[in-house]
Structure 1
Amino acid sequence: MIIKRLGDDMNIIIKSVEHDSEDGINFIVVEFFVDGDYYRHALEDERFLDRSSLDLDSDTLDAVQQALYAFIDAHAVSTELYDIDDLSHQAKLLGYRLGTRYVLDQLGETVQLVEVTDRYRKMVISFNDRPECAFWLRGQLADPLLEEGPVKRVNANIPKPLHDDFKAMCVRRGVDMQDVLTELIIGWMK
């Protein structure tokens, strides 16, 4: 995309706009070139350049922002950081760990964690928005003192080498075999 700037031609190329995360904090990253110089930049509020952290003049920043909007629209890039289905999956996993059933209800921007039984639905906690819910769920799932709810043993006959490889992979990745199996079962039930 060629943008005119005070009689000059300025070449702005948006390479990609994609989701990224660090320490469980999700953000959107844009990679772009301005006159051949490469930039990788985390967006603010999902769609905006953080102008204070870029060493570009105001006209150039305006042009990059316009090119960014055009790229996001042309490629139908989702800038929604926290997908409600992913959060619901985490809530369900937390419920299974605690021996109950949790679902998430979204009312406007507000997200509610709801306990579901055969007889009632009870709100457990309410969040102002999805990021707040995501941080809370992440903290709950990472808590080493999280009490295990009632469990039921599952027996399955699988080949010993498969079991040994699975166990070794879980150790290498630092995950609990029980959590991985729970994730697999939840995924299979979808």
Structure 2
Amino acid sequence: MTSRHPPGSLRERKRAAAKAAVAEAAIGLFAERGYDAVSVAEICEVANVAPRSFFRYFPTKKDLLLEPFRDMADGVTGSIASAPSDMSDREVIQQAMRELARHVLVDWDRIMRYLRVLQGAAAVRAAPELQFADLEREYADTLMRRRGAAGSADWRTRLFVARIHSGFRVWFDELTDRDVEDPLGLLDQILAEHE
């Protein structure tokens, strides 16, 4: 959704702050009682916003829970699309995964809260935004468009992207399973396995 207000304007910053407050209130309620047990009306009451405002920020309760994951996927797609033309496909994808990793590390606690809530929300877990094959296809198609090719990515490009993306998922699992002294160094090591 695009805003009518310039990025960084006071109105846009207020909107972003209000939206974040609604999301924080919702995640707190979801964590306490479970996703399915919380209504939009209850979220609005805790966040002190009208339902109309809620639906301006999030079309559905499910969208609220999916937004961080959509933002991350959009960030990867944007990174691929805007990479300098002299970079190789490998450099482009690896750079996008490193940028995503930096975002994950900065926002770790929030992402982990969302993931814990998501574990108890079976209907949301099936959303296309969380299906890795769909994300990998989107990244591969964006990589093809960056090259100036029309249509969908070929199987080689899709396999290449899937390997790099699976490396990122292994990295994320490592971070959730154990203490990692140098998370970005570990990501570089994992991504180097695909060279």
Mark the structure with the bigger radius of gyration.
1
TM-score normalised by structure 2 residue count: 0.26
Q: Which has the higher contact order (CA 8 A, sep 6+)?
A: 2
The two structures have a TM-score, normalised by structure 1, of 0.27
User: Which protein has the bigger strand share?
Assistant: 1
Higher normalized helix content (fraction of residues) = 2
